[in-house]
Each structure stands twice: as C-alpha cells, then as structure tokens.
C-alpha cells in the first residue's frame, strides 16, 4: 500500500512544483514556439522515411510488372494486355486452367478473389471485385486509386480502366486485360502505375500496370501503294457492313512486311489531306462525312471503314453507313490507309449508293384491316435478351406492300404503331422505334416503369415483333404476364395485334 501511495503522490508533486516555479520564467518563453534541435529534426526525418517505406510496400507474394502505352483519345479505345497466367498458377499452387476458371468465376472453380491496391496509400481496395463490366478490373482516378465509375465521375477524377476479358463457362474465353482511358479527358502526357490483384487462400498476386498516355506524332510516311476499289450499296437503315475486297499481297510487298498482322497503324484521310490516326469506327476504322473526309461521328457522317478482328477476312475491308443518311444516287470516295515501316498503302474506296432490287412482288388488291393474336414467351433474364415472332405475311397482306417497302416505311416513319388506342396524333414511342415499354395493364410506360417492351423489327427480308423483360422491374422468381393491343397502320391498311407476353421465372442453371 505504501508503494502505491508514492506512485500517486509523485504526479501531484511535480504539478505543484511546476506551478510554483512559474514566477521564475518569462511567460513569453513558456508559450513561444519550440525550435527543434538538429537531433529532433533528424528523428522526424527518420520516422517519415520509415512511414514512406511502409507506404511504398506492396503486400504481395508475386508482383508482375507491365507497361502499356496509349494515345490521347476522344472515343473509347483499348489496348490489350496479356498477363503471365503460368506465374500466377505457380504462386497459387494451381494449374493455369484452374486460375482462369477462378478468375472468371466458373462453376466449381477455386475461389480466387479480385481486388485492387490503391496507388496513393497501398491499401487494399476490396469494396468491389470489379467496377467495370468484366469479372475483374477497376476504374482508376488521377492518383491511380480504384473506385466506381459513378463516384469518380462525380468527383471529376475518372481517368482510365483495366477490364478483364474473360467470361464464365465460355469455351472461347479471351483471357486478357483491356486498358483504356476516359475519352476527352487528357491532352498532356500522363503516367500512372496501378495494381490489379488476386488472392487465393493466403497467397496474393499484384499485377502492376504502368499506363502511359502520350500524343501521337505527325505522320511523315510516304504512300508506297494505292489500290482503287469500288462498292455498290443500297441505302441502309442499320450499321451492318458490306465488304469490299482488296489485294493484301500488294500491301505487304509495298510496306515490307510478311503479313497483315504486322500493320503498325491505320489512317483515314481528312478533307484537307491530313491524316486522322485515332480510329473511331468499327475495328481499326474511321467515319467519313459527306465530302469523303475522315471525321468524328456526327449527323453529317455517311459511311465508315472497318478492318481486322477475330476471324476477319484478310483481303476485305468492311463498309457501313450511318442509318438513313445515304440516298440513292449518292457517291463517296474515302481513303483508308495501312501504315508500317514508315510507308503507307492507301485504299481509295468509291461507295455508290444504288437502288435496292426488290425480289418480291406486292400482294394484289386494296389494303385491308386484319387482326392477329401474338404470343411472346421467355424466361426472365437479367439483361435485355429478346424473343421474336414473325409477322411478315400478315403485314404484307394488310398493307399490300413488299417486305422491303414495309421496311422502308418503318425507317421513314410512314408506318406507325399505336398502343391500345389509335389516335390522330403522332405516336410517342418509349422503346426501340417503333415500340413501347409496357406497364402491368398493357399501357405505354416509360422505361423506368415498364415491365416488358415490344417493338417491330424490320430488314429487307424480315418483319417481326420482338420484346423482352425489364431486368429490375420483373421478379426473377415470379416472372410476369401482361396483355396489350398494338394497332399498326401503313399505306391505308391496318393490323390489330393482340399481344400476350409471358415472362416465366428465371431458368435454373
């Protein structure tokens, strides 16, 4: 007890001593700033150095380092990055197949968790396995820290992403990262190092990706070969392409390469003769305006080029149209170049828009009114996967028109669809035109309130009703059933369609 007494008494004694001694000192000296000694400064520097070293540590059993270089872009472009799956498998004590299955979350696969390590703090980001559309990968801010698209957009710091391209239970898996930037964000060189990570049991792997953004240099290459190509196309209501053939042997010989796989870049020629280097259409392609100059996608766009991709014919260039912008009699000459070894092989492509040669003959007689019953049925899906029903012959007979003529009327807006009641006013479509999102009572609804949608799909050879369920507004376990009536009018004819749409519960895996 005596020992305990002295322990409590000592602090009190020191306090009293301090109070009674105050009279011996100038208060300015007591309250003034303390000037650190050299030893104290050195100790602070030592502690800061230790803290910085700890902050810079990456908590991983294996670090794989890669560098990806990209260029400032105004559209979403990607760079492919393949990573060393064999090294990850060795670290985890698994096979490569097991690692890929785990990353892609295949059924029965080992549990491999995806996460990120924040570049600024080196702390784990485990809130989301992925903040992209892939099963692994993240959006990053301008510090190299992971976050969601919405959060980073709200802060104005959304910079770039790493998205794993692998799909569960897919025999044709493409297992690699796509790296891409937030378009129209950067105009000065940037460099970040970010960490996409995996863990399995007690093992951790960090994929350190240094992403470098820079500007493209001017094209100084000379044209070494030119091919003149011509393609006739019908006016298009979709972005579907028609291919034109060229001679790839001429290209490889002129550029001094062994195959088209060695092409280093793709060029579009702008109206002033300068080169567009940032592809913005199809695969490795460009949009062209009414003057035939490579340009940004806009309402003035007419046609686009596309070349390459999985299974693409090596001797063909795809040509597509801006739907509804090209008319019979139009002609555009566009220039599309292949670049390698500081040489260019140029394709001058003349696209002629010609009239469609309709193989059908319209049914004889006057347009009439018909009524049909249509049943649409599908299992609930968490996407917008549609089902469809053919209505071609009914529409042909009612409107006394060919399939192509009805298709053209759909594109022009002459064909109209009313939901439940025909009116004198223009229809206000709420789904794919012409079509509607539907409420429980079958009336037209906004997307946010709809349960299902039904629209009319057309092409030069097909006429069909198609629709699907809303992923959020329909229960995956209960499904839904609704009925409605569409009135389709065209060319003085009318078709009343009694629609029954049944969405069954989600199918068991």
pLDDT tens-digit profile of 348-363?
999 999 999 999 999 9
Cβ count within 10 A of residue 200: 21
Per-residue model confidence (pLDDT) at position 22? 43
Q: 311 Cβ partners below 8 Å, 6+ apart?
A: none
The secondary structure element, H or E, covering residue 394 is: helix 392-399
pLDDT above 90 covers a percentage of the chain that reads: 81
The secondary structure element, H or E, covering residue 41 is: helix 38-56
Which one-letter DSSP state was computed for residue 153?
H
Per-residue model confidence (pLDDT) at position 5? 35
Task: Provide φ and ψ at 14, rounded to 5°.
Answer: -65, -40
CATH architecture of 369-504: Sandwich (2.60)
pLDDT above 70 covers a percentage of the chain that reads: 90
pLDDT at 93 over 80: yes
> Model confidence at 4, in pLDDT bands (50, 70, 90)?
very low
Per-residue model confidence (pLDDT) at position 18? 40
Give 222-353's CATH code, choosing from 2.60.40, 3.90.550, 1.10.3470, 1.25.10: 2.60.40
With 0-12 / 13-18 / 19 or more C-beta atoms within 10 angstroms meaning exposed / middle / buried, residue 212 is middle
Instruction: For CATH 2.60.40, list the domain ranges present in the chain.
Output: 222-353, 369-504
Per-residue model confidence (pLDDT) at position 8? 36
Per-residue model confidence (pLDDT) at position 167? 65
pLDDT at 23 over 50: no
Cβ count within 10 A of residue 226: 14
Per-residue pLDDT tens over the stretch 187-213: 889 999 999 999 999 999 999 999 999
Average pLDDT over residues 333-356: 98
Per-residue model confidence (pLDDT) at position 174? 72
First to last CA, the chain: 74
Per-residue model confidence (pLDDT) at position 217? 85
Q: Please state at what angle helix 403-412 crosses helix 392-399, rounded to 10 degrees.
A: 80
* Interatomic CA distance for residues 327 and 317, integer angstroms: 22
Q: Which two tokens stand for residue 423?
A: 């009116």
Per-residue pLDDT tens over the stretch 272-316: 999 999 999 999 999 999 999 999 999 999 999 999 988 999 999
> Model confidence at 48, in pLDDT bands (50, 70, 90)?
low
Average pLDDT over residues 98-116: 95
């Amino acid at each position: 007890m005596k020992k305990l007494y002295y322990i409590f008494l000592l602090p009190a004694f020191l306090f009293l001593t301090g109070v009674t001694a105050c009279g011996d000192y100038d208060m300015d000296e007591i309250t003034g700033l303390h000037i650190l000694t050299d030893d104290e400064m050195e100790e602070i520097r030592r502690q800061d150095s230790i803290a910085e070293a700890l902050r810079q540590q990456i908590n991983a059993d294996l670090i794989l380092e890669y560098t990806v270089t990209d260029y400032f872009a105004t559209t979403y472009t990607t760079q492919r990055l393949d990573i060393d799956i064999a090294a990850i498998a060795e670290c985890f004590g698994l096979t490569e197949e097991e690692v890929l299955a785990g990353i892609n979350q295949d059924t029965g696969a080992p549990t491999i968790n995806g996460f990120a390590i924040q570049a600024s703090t080196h702390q784990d980001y485990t809130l989301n396995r992925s903040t992209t559309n892939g099963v692994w990968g993240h959006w990053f801010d301008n510090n190299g820290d992971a976050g969601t698209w919405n959060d980073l957009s709200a802060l104005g710091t959304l910079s770039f992403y790493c998205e794993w391209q692998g799909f569960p239970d897919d025999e044709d898996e493409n297992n690699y990262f796509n790296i891409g930037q937030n378009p129209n964000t950067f105009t000065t060189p940037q460099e970040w190092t970010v960490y996409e990570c995996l863990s399995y049991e007690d093992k951790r792997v960090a994929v350190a990706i240094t992403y470098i953004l820079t500007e493209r240099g001017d094209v100084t290459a000379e044209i070494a070969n030119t091919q003149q190509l011509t393609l006739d196309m019908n006016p298009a209501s979709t972005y579907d392409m028609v291919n034109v053939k060229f001679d790839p042997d001429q290209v490889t010989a002129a550029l001094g390469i062994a195959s088209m796989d060695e092409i280093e870049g793709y060029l579009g020629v702008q109206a002033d003769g300068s080169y567009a280097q940032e592809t913005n259409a199809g695969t490795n392609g460009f949009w062209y305006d009414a003057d035939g100059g490579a340009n940004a996608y806009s309402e003035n766009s007419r046609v686009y080029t596309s070349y390459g991709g999985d299974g693409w014919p090596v001797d063909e260039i795809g040509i597509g149209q801006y739907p509804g912008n090209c008319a019979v009699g139009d002609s555009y000459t566009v220039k599309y170049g292949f670049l390698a070894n500081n040489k260019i092989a140029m394709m001058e492509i003349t696209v002629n828009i010609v009239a469609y040669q309709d193989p059908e003959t319209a049914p004889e007689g006057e347009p009439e009114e018909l009524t049909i019953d249509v049943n649409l049925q599908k299992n609930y899906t968490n996407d917008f996967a549609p089902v469809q029903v053919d209505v071609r012959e009914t529409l042909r007979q009612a409107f006394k028109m060919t399939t192509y003529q009805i298709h053209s009327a759909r594109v022009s807006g002459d064909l109209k669809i009313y939901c439940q009641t025909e009116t004198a006013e223009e229809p206000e479509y709420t789904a794919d035109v012409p079509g509607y999102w539907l409420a429980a009572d079958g009336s037209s609804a906004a997307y946010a309130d709809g349960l299902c949608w039904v629209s009319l799909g057309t092409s030069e050879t097909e006429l069909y009703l198609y629709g699907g369920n809303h992923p959020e507004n329909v229960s995956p376990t209960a499904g839904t059933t609704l009925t409605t009536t569409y009135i389709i009018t065209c060319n003085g004819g009318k078709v009343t369609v009694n629609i029954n749409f049944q969405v069954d519960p989600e199918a068991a895996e």
